[in-house]
Structure 1
Amino acid sequence: MSITSKYYGRTKAGAEIYQYTLENANGMKVCVIEYGCIVTNVWVPDNGGVLRDVVLGYRELADYEAGTASLGSFVGRYANRIEKAQFTLNGKTYYLEPNDGANHLHGTFGRLTYQGSIVDDSLVLTGRSPDGDDGFPGNMDITVTYKLTDDNALVMDYTAVTDAPTIINLTNHTYFNLDGCDSGDVLHQELWLDADRFTEGNAETCPTGRILPVRGTPMDFTKPKAIGRDMDCGDEQLRMASGYDHNFVLNKDGGMLALGAIAKSPVSGIRMEMYTTQPGVQLYTGNFLANDGVPGKNGKPHTKHQGFCLETQHFPCTPSHPEFPSVTLVPDEEYHETTVYQFKTE
């Protein structure tokens, strides 16, 4: 496995950004930039041995700065939504930036500049979120590690520490299209989720607090099915979100790394297995990609449902629902989560 780097561009603020390319013995390649720890490219062999770039992205750094869809981004301090852009911790209420209507969504980690370095066979990116960033308390030091194995697994490992009690929820927002990033929509691609339940969403896709069974609903991916099979069935949850934008509760114990999802394309034969230590995964089907306004890698606008995300996470709006798995991080503790995307062919 090799890792090389090259100059990628300069941010509007003047920071020099480098791109790192991880390549394994099979010819699989993953490209990452220091801006937002963004995964810009994932080249995977299909069932004919042809390399396909299976993630959505832009042409250059300025596009990543201008884009609004979080393509390939590392997301935090709090992935997904915090209802009414506020939370209470230890009796104190913190007010966040309302950047998704009245709610707070994802945060600024995808727009920070990180310091990349090659450590053994991994790419290690480090950054700091200062006290008060987006309204969150505590200085937070973050380490993002990307590793590509010779069995075509992209390992994403996140650690963080804080000097004051805070909340945290980190994920990666890569959009996958297993036929290639320029191949059209993903509605025919198949998905299996090891999730018997999901968190019901309200009109703003914030959890109502009810955790419902997927059985007998369009949310049921416990048997593989095309992503778009039930999308136009008239279900209220899908209508409100214009597709899937829902948190699924994974059938797993504690924080152990376990298989949570399998996606595959009947066209390219590419199969992607997702493993995670996290308790949930947000399935997002690119419902508003057409609103981004920044052209993709081929110079053309992205289209609705051109990619899907499997955002491993703790649950949205957990501060409003203390019965959900805890997202609190305190000094002298380390946040640590791992997600793996492994590629195969059929």
Structure 2
Amino acid sequence: MHASFSYRVCALFLAAMLPGAAPAPMARAAAMAVTLTRAPFGTLPDGQVVERFTLANTHGVRLQVMTYGAIITAIDAPDRRGHVADVVLGFPTLEDYVVNNPRGSLYFGATVGRVANRIANGTFSLDGHVYHIPRTEGTNALHGGRRGFDRHVWHVEATATTTDGASVTLMRVSPDGEEGFPGTLVAHVTFGLNSRNELSLHYRATTDRPTVVNLTNHSYFNLNGEGSGSVENEILQIHADTFTPVDAASLPLGTTAPVAGTALDFRTPRRIGACLRDGGQQMRDQHGYDFNWIVNAAPASAPVLVAHLSDPASGRNMDVLTTQPGLQVYTANALDGRYTGPSGHAYRQTDAVALEAEHYPDSPNHPDFPTITLRPGAIYDQTTLYRLGVEPGGTPAP
């Protein structure tokens, strides 16, 4: 298997820190473009201690990730006036993440697995064996079952700092049969931040039996700032000509369709809200956007630019680059004001947009889709980059 660009990037991060190496002396900290700190973030009812890591560069960009659920809890970024705000939805405390998400229904900032998105009837076949995953969304298995990867404490495998960036690698072992999935899966996620305001998420996994795996991050973005209201005026561009149509249960029909002439046509930049109230069947069934755009014909060897998001009010913008074949775009359709973020404001529908780079939904049941089967000896290896920027003059809303 050829080495990907993402693997080389993370290798540079990890090479800077040998196992057992002592922490960098304070004299070196000033030379680092990105600092990395760790601190306790709380304790779970079973006594497990959860840590949170903070990666911060000299441009005011800061990434926070905790070991519970390998969850991104905050992404701070400056606007055109230099004002820094958190641009992802989340909660202020660990208890909020545990109590407000009893069945894994929100996934704020979470690493989702073993299989992200939906599996029809919670059932799939692999090598002649039928496997059953707990149904958590009607008849669907959603985001890994009742207790997916977002509901476990991950092990801190490594941290690294270089003159250009910093990273933390989290790991968990998903045992054979967990949530019905076959094989012991060893999963790693490396969260990185560099001096170019790029947040990198590098996923790797291996298995001892044939299994299926589809990992992603479920951060909800609002570039005007968490708790600032609807993202309908934010400008989105998606570099995709086709998408996978779904039925009323959000399951793919097994076909692809052109975005041209539909509410899903973001080939040229336009407001998220421009067609949000489109009366077509697809939009009615999903209550907004919750679709998979085909952004790469097959998994790419290096991250490809697949989407651009910008906010006219603040001037913040973000590129999304990935090796994954699909991009699930979700306009927080299920938020109804019951949950309150760190800002103290209640979250409602369209208060954010999730840009989930992943394989297609229900892939195990559609042989024509890019496969998510992982076999012993192979390595699941995917990377997604979120590149933050600012537009001094803003972007006029069309």
- Aligning the two structures, in what range does the TM-score lie when normalised by the shorter sequence? over 0.9
Q: How many residues align?
A: 345
For residues 221 and 254 of structure 1, do their structure 2 counterparts lie closer, same or farther at Cα, with a shift above 3 Å needed?
Answer: same
1:324 to 349, 366, 369: 369
User: Secondary structure, in 3 states, of the residue corresponding to 1:325?
Assistant: coil
- Given that 2:298 and 2:370 are in contact with CA atoms closer than 8 Å, whether structure 1 keeps it comes out as no
- Is 1:36 aligned with 2:69? yes
Q: C-alpha distance in 2, partners of 1:305/1:94?
A: 35
Distance across 2 between alignment mates of 1:254 and 1:35: 28
CA distance in structure 1 between the aligned counterparts of 2:307 and 2:227, rounded to whole angstroms: 23
Specify the alignment match of 1:285 in structure 2: 331
Q: Could you tell me which residue of structure 2 aligns to residue 111 of structure 1?
A: 151
- RMSD of aligned alpha carbons: 1.1
* 1: CA distance, partners of 2:375 / 2:286: 34
Taking the aligned partners of 2:244 and 2:297, their CA distance within structure 1 comes to 16
**Residue 74 (structure 1) aligned with residue 114 (structure 2):** no
Separation of aligned partners in 2, 1:290 and 1:159: 35
Give the superposition deviation at 1:118.
Answer: 1.5
Q: Which structure 2 residues correspond to residues 1-346 of structure 1 after superposition, within 5 A?
A: 1-66=34-99, 67=101, 68-107=105-144, 108-116=148-156, 117-120=158-161, 121-251=166-296, 254-256=299-301, 257-290=303-336, 293-346=338-391
- Alpha-carbon offset, residue 205 of structure 1: 0.7
Q: Following the alignment from structure 1 to structure 2, what is the Cα–Cα distance between the partners of residues 184 and 150?
A: 30
Report how far residue 112 of structure 1 moved: 1.0
Distance apart, 1:289 and its partner CA: 1.5
Give how far 1:254 is off. 4.0
Matched residues in 2 for 1:135 and 1:119: separation?
35
**Which residue identity does 1:101 align to in structure 2?**
G
- Secondary structure of 1:78's match? coil
- Displacement, 1:299? 3.4
Give, in whole Å, the separation in 2 of the partners of 1:59 and 1:4: 18
**CA–CA distance in structure 2, aligned partners of residues 162 and 135 of structure 1:** 15
- The 3-state SS of whatever aligns with 2:97 is helix
CA shift, 1:252, in A, is: 5.3
1:4–1:21 Cα contact (<8 Å) kept: yes
Q: Is the 8 A contact 2:227 2:345 kept in 1?
A: no
Equivalence for 2:13: none
With normalisation by structure 1, the TM-score equals: 0.98
CA contact (8 A) 1:196 1:251 kept: no
Which ranges in structure 2 are unaligned for 5 or more consecutive residues?
A: 1-33, 392-398
Q: What letter is aligned with 2:116?
A: A
Matched position secondary structure for 1:63: helix
SS of match in other structure, 1:229: helix
1:64 counterpart SS class: helix
2:339 aligns to what SS in structure 1?
coil
Could you list the per-position Cα deviations for residues 241-261 of structure 1 after superposition, in whole angstroms to 9, with x for gaps in the alignment?
A: 000000000145642310000
User: How far does residue 294 in structure 1 lie from its aligned partner after superposition?
Assistant: 3.5
Percent identity (aligned) = 39
**Structure 1 CA distance, aligned partners of 2:56 and 2:243?**
36
Shift of 1:24: 0.9
Q: 1:48 to 1:221 in 2, by over 3 A?
A: same
CA distance in 1, matches of 2:59, 2:343: 26
| Cα shift at 1:175 | 0.1
Question: Alignment partner of 2:274: what SS?
Answer: coil
Structure 1 or 2, whichever has the larger Rg, is 2
User: Contact conserved, 1:163 with 1:330, CA < 8 A, in 2?
Assistant: yes
Cα separation, 2, equivalents of 1:252 and 1:333: 21
Structure 1: runs of 5 or more not aligned? none
Conserved 8 A contact 1:6-1:18: yes
1:12 positional shift = 2.1
Residues in 2 aligned to 1:302 and 1:133: alpha-carbon distance in whole angstroms: 32
Cα contact 1:252–1:258 (8 A) shared by 2 = no
Equivalent residues of 1:63, 1:294 under 8 A apart: no
Q: For 2:85 and 2:346, how far apart are their aligned partners in 1?
A: 19
SS in 1 for 2:255: strand
> Residues 211-233 of structure 1, C-alpha deviation per residue, up to 9 Å, x if partnerless?
00000111100000000110112
The offset of 1:29, in angstroms, is 0.6
Conserved? CA contact 1:122–1:147, under 8 Å: yes
Query: Does the Cα contact within 8 Å between 1:86 and 1:96 map onto a contact in 2?
Result: yes
State the partner residue of 2:31. Answer: none
Q: In 1, distance between residues paired with 2:307 and 2:195?
A: 21
